């Protein structure tokens, strides 16, 4: 896994948003203090004493209530949510009122606060010795479940694990075909059933085959028809019930896949899916090129669910582990 190289390249939308926001706040210093003239140091003295060439001073702004309010508003705009924005701002303010901060210093402070929120949730998908380890994948239509399963299958294969996929979204024929294509790409078998057939019986068959073949990992795709919440809840509950007949400890992980571009809506989706299934961790997709990565901070702060991975593109290797520090720095534009 290329840790966050892709994120750094692609999180440009988010970083420019918060980064530019912070630049704007500092530049908006009411006193508009002119930057002090740079000290000349390129001459003989500089060369003799090894002084670094002078950089033009960054603008600074004294931290006051007005600046904190601007900071708070900007963070709310960047999808951190009101509660998280308030707390982050208060932490930055503590012991620093009146201090003159540059945009870079403010970014460092903000990155530190965000990293502190994200560090406890940055956890890889836990691996259990159980065979097969069952990963149930849930989320609304279009969130990126099928794509994420394909990417995960490929990474586990590359790590030497045997993998099987059950195409539990039996509602849409196209969904099954899509998963078969991902299965081919990742080199893993995909168990399918007739369109409209019971996903629970498919899950049961997949468990049976995975057990017989000694498969390490069984990933079960599901439908995401939230419009029919009661049906979906029953469908998921039934899948869990039948696989527990085979292994009472399954599913070992229930991954909720969320689309970063939905912004604050991701918070509602977590609330909903926690009622539908025993969600054990999150995957956030489409962080490439979206300006809404801030919602991850709100999610972490509010729910504390592990973030196992992030999607940074549509290709098979576009799934990264989640690293709190890298994410925080990329988000604030450092
Ligand atoms: N840019 C981008 N697109 C993604 C990512 N993950 C999934 N997609 C796209 O989102 C769309 C829906 O994905 P799909 O896996 O079918 O969602 P599902 O309905 O939850 O199974 C597809 O066009 C995917 O290529 C990602 O991390 N980045
Ligand atoms: Mg799908």
Q: Is 225 annotated as a binding residue?
A: yes
- The whole-angstrom separation of Cα 209 and Cα 203 is 10
- Domain 3-121 shares a fold with domain 133-331: no
Encode pLDDT of 155-196 as tens digits.
Answer: 999 999 999 999 999 888 888 889 999 999 999 999 998 888
Sort strands 100-102 and 163-166 into parallel, antiparallel or unpaired: unpaired
List the chain domain ranges.
3-121, 133-331
User: From the CB of 145, is ligand 1 less than 6 Å away?
Assistant: yes
End-to-end CA distance of the chain: 22
Q: In the chain, what percentage of residues exceed pLDDT 90?
A: 71
Residues ≥6 apart with Cβ < 8 Å to 246: 204, 207, 208, 211
Which residue's structure tokens are 């960047």? 78
User: From the CB of 269, is ligand 1 less than 6 Å away?
Assistant: no
User: From the CB of 166, is ligand 1 less than 6 Å away?
Assistant: no
DSSP one-letter string for 90-150 = HHHHTTTTT-EEEHHHHHHHHHHHHHHHHGGGB-PPP--S-SSEEEEEE--TTSSHHHHHH
Q: Is 145 annotated as a binding residue?
A: yes
User: φ and ψ at 204, to 5 degrees?
Assistant: -65, -45
> How many Å lie between the centroid of ligand 2 and the Cα of residue 13?
26
Angle between helices 145-158 and 173-186 (to 10 degrees): 20
Residue 319 CA: nearest ligand 1 atom is 27
Which of these, 122, 107, 76, lies nearest to 325 by C-alpha position? Answer: 122
Which residue's CA is the closest to the ligand 1 atom numbered 17? Answer: 144
Residues ≥6 apart with Cβ < 8 Å to 84: 75, 117, 297, 298, 301, 302
- The whole-angstrom separation of Cα 240 and Cα 234 is 10
Q: Is 222 annotated as a binding residue?
A: yes
Architecture of domain 133-331: 3-Layer(aba) Sandwich (3.40)
User: From the CB of 313, is ligand 1 less than 6 Å away?
Assistant: yes
Mean pLDDT of 92-108: 95
> How many Å lie between the centroid of ligand 1 and the Cα of residue 142?
6
- The whole-angstrom separation of Cα 118 and Cα 250 is 28
What six digits make up the tokens of 250? 């399954």
Residue 178 CA: nearest ligand 1 atom is 16
More confident residue, 1 or 219: 219
SS (H, E, C) 260-305: HHHCCHHHHHHHHHHHHCCCCEEEEECCCCCCCCCHHHHHHHHHCC
Q: Is the pLDDT of residue 251 over 70?
A: yes
Q: Is 223 annotated as a binding residue?
A: yes
- The whole-angstrom separation of Cα 231 and Cα 168 is 14
Residue 311 CA: nearest ligand 1 atom is 27
Encode pLDDT of 113-129 as tens digits.
Answer: 999 999 999 999 998 88
At residue 46, the pLDDT reads: 52
- Which ligand gives the minimal distance to the CA of 313? 1
At residue 2, the pLDDT reads: 45
Mutating to test ligand 1, I would choose from 144, 176, 177, 311 the residue with most ligand atoms within 8 A of its C-beta, which is 144
Instruction: Place 51 in a pLDDT band, splitting at 50, 70 and 90.
Output: low
Q: Is 208 annotated as a binding residue?
A: no
User: From the CB of 13, is ligand 1 less than 6 Å away?
Assistant: no
- Which ligand gives the minimal distance to the CA of 179? 2
Residue 318 CA: nearest ligand 1 atom is 27
Encode pLDDT of 287-318 as tens digits.
Answer: 987 778 899 999 999 999 999 999 999 999 99
Whole-number Cα distances in Å, 193 to 148, 172, 205: 20, 11, 10
Element containing residue 208 per DSSP (H, E): helix 199-213
For the chain, the 3-state helix, strand and coil shares in percent, each to the nearest 5, are 50, 15, 35
User: From the CB of 311, is ligand 1 less than 6 Å away?
Assistant: yes
The burial class, CB within 10 Å (0-12 / 13-18 / 19+), for 214 is exposed
Q: Is 21 annotated as a binding residue?
A: no
User: φ and ψ at 105, to 5 degrees?
Assistant: -65, -40
More confident residue, 152 or 51: 152
Are 152 and 178 a contacting pair, CB within 8 Å?
no
CATH no., domain 3-121: 1.20.120.140
Mutating to test ligand 1, I would choose from 138, 148, 314 the residue with most ligand atoms within 8 A of its C-beta, which is 314
Residue 163, preceding peptide bond in cis (omega within 30° of 0): no
User: From the CB of 144, is ligand 1 less than 6 Å away?
Assistant: yes
């Amino acid at each position: 896994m290329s840790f966050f190289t892709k994120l750094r390249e692609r999180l440009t939308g988010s970083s420019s948003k918060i980064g530019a926001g912070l630049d704007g706040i500092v530049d908006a210093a009411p006193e508009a203090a002119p930057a002090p003239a740079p000290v000349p140091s390129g001459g003989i003295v500089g060369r003799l004493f090894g002084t670094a060439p002078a950089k033009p001073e960054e603008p600074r702004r004294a931290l006051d209530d007005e600046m904190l309010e601007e900071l708070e508003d900007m963070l709310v705009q960047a999808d951190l949510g009101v509660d998280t924005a308030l707390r982050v701002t208060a932490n930055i303010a503590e012991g620093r009122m009146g201090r003159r901060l540059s945009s870079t210093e403010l970014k460092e402070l903000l990155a530190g606060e965000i990293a502190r929120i994200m560090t406890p949730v940055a956890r890889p998908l836990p691996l259990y010795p159980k065979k097969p380890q069952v990963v149930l994948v849930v989320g609304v239509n279009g969130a990126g479940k099928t794509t994420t399963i394909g990417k995960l299958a490929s990474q586990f294969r590359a790590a030497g694990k045997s993998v099987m996929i059950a195409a539990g979204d039996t509602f849409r024929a196209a969904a099954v075909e899509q998963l078969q294509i991902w299965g081919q790409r990742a080199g893993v078998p995909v168990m399918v059933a007739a369109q409209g057939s019971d996903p629970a019986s498919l899950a049961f068959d997949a468990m049976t085959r995975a057990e017989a073949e000694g498969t390490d990992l069984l990933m079960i795709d599901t439908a995401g028809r939230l419009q029919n919440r009661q049906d979906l809840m029953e469908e998921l509950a039934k899948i869990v019930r039948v696989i527990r007949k085979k292994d009472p400890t399954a599913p070992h992980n229930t991954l909720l896949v969320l689309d970063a571009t939905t912004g604050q809506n991701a918070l509602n989706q977590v609330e909903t899916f926690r009622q539908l299934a025993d969600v054990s961790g999150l995957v956030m997709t489409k962080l490439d090129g979206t300006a809404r990565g801030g919602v991850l901070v709100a999610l972490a702060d509010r729910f504390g669910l592990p973030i196992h991975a992030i999607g940074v593109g549509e290709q098979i290797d576009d799934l990264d582990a989640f690293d709190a520090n890298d994410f925080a720095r990329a988000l604030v534009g450092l």
